[in-house]
A = this chain, B = another copy of it.
Amino acid sequence: MSTHMEKFFEPESIAIVGASATPHKPGNDVIRNILANGYEGKLYLVNPKGGEILGIKVHRAVSDLPEGIDLAVVILPARANPRAVRDCASRGIKAIVLAAGGFAEVDADGESLQEELKEAIRETGVRVLGPNTSGHTSTPHRFTSSFFPLGALPKGPISYIAQTGNFATHTMRYIKSAEHFGVARVAGLGNKIDLDECDILEYYARDPETKAICVYLESFKRPRLFLDLAGKVTRKKPVILLKGGSSAGGSRAAVAHTAALASDDRIIEGALRQAGICRIHKYSHLFLAAKALAMMPLPEGNRVSFLAPSGAMLVCLTDFCEKHLSLRVPPVEEETRARLQEISPPFIRMRNPVDIWASATVHGVAYGYREGMEAVLKDPNIDAVVPVLLLTDETGVPSLDFIVELAEKYPQKPIYVTSSGQKKHMEAAKDFLEPRGVPTFPLIEDPFEILDILCRCRKALETPWRPR
């Protein structure tokens, strides 16, 4: 299949067709993005005016370019796209990103223009991402075709397939400024005139830089192939999917967004489950689950221990895990229980979940949480540990190095952190822990919602794939 995918994600040379000297124009921002990411291949610019942009020579026409450039990023008005495709093809370019909107997603004129574009692609045999895409990203190859000013993008193990431009625009801005994890590849599918989710998924499946795959789709272009590919890849790498348009209202919104047609959601549900795809229902989980996957191992199972400075939180979170999620909060070994009792004043009978209030307030927050976390991390009945940190001036705010050390010492068990107390300390904890590889979550229920998702991913990894 996708013999040209490497040219999209690992290009040794790139041409920007429609490069602009004007700051804040897409044709300028895309160059700045590529430079900011430290792209090490050859970069060619094309604009009829010639001259230089940002110190790089500008070619007046595609026909002036050398033969065989790997990838062209075309940032021209919709009407100019069919011609640009033919021009690029004639210089031996086989991989093309088309940024312009104004095609089938808009009106009848756009539809006929899209037909014209299809014809150009068919005739020339090039592969096209888009049109109407805000771009794609490949941090291992230090570049992005995004024209939204993003600067340097953090490198990491998560790859996205997105039937939306968000993961090249404001959601990427959010991830970069708030979530401290990095991405490997990102593909904004746009109108899917040629490349679709199957091509990208097939590439991510064999991509050593991609450890987990997060997908946002409003439609399946080749559903049968997608499920077959997914059925194989989910046995090796987690695949998390948010399918937009699963309600009647959502379907109508999806038609307005990407002209995606509704499918019967119940049929989809079963097929996705069979393929081992972990379906999610919150947009926010596309980055919270990604963060957890980027920073921590997959949990081996659904048996969770948590420590909280509050009996009420223990009760409510246990209810939440067992009644609303598929997590279990099991008893721990007697040895573990004895150790928990040892670190606590005697008036609380320690168990899982762990009431750490007394230990933390009597012996100090760092002592209580460190010893308590280590006890349950060691326990063979526990697959993941969630400390709900107590962070107030009154109880003392310790250095959180001990959590980073525990994460290093027990690399097979995920630790997700959340907290209660003063906002400033909670934010400082996030800013300290996440760059050191320990994920944190805003509300105390969030880490459990994410654990539940990743337990489903684990299950798929362990279930043999039986093609239909």
Contact = CB atoms under 8 A, between A and B. Distances in A.
Interface of A: 101-102, 106, 148-149, 162-166, 170-171, 173-174, 177-178, 216, 218, 242, 244-250, 252-254, 256-258, 281-284, 288, 309-324, 328-329, 347-349, 351, 353, 355, 390, 392, 394-395, 420-424, 426-427, 442-446
A189 to B, nearest CB: 11
A427 to B, nearest CB: 8
Contacts of A390: 170
A311 B255 CA distance: 10
B442 A250 contact: no
B322 A249 contact: yes
Contact of A284 (B246, B258, B445): B445
A426 B314 CA distance: 30
Contact of A249 (B246, B253, B321, B348): B321
A112 B173 CA distance: 61
A250 B316 contact: yes
Nearest to A323: B247
Given A171-B420, A445-B283, A253 B310 contact: no
B149 A394 contact: yes
Nearest to A179: B423
Contacts of A446: 443
B316 A242 contact: yes
A178 B391 CA distance: 13
19 contacts: A148-B394, A171-B420, A173-B392, A173-B421, A174-B420, A216-B312, A244-B316, A245-B315, A247-B321, A250-B315, A253-B329, A253-B353, A258-B311, A282-B320, A283-B444, A283-B445, A284-B445, A427-B427, A442-B442
Nearest to A148: B394
B318 A249 contact: yes
A288 B445 CA distance: 13
Q: Which of A102, A257, A395, A424 has the most CB of B within 10 A?
A: A257
A312 B244 contact: yes
A321 B171 CA distance: 21
Contact of A312 (B166, B178, B284): B166
Contacts of A166: 310, 312-313, 420
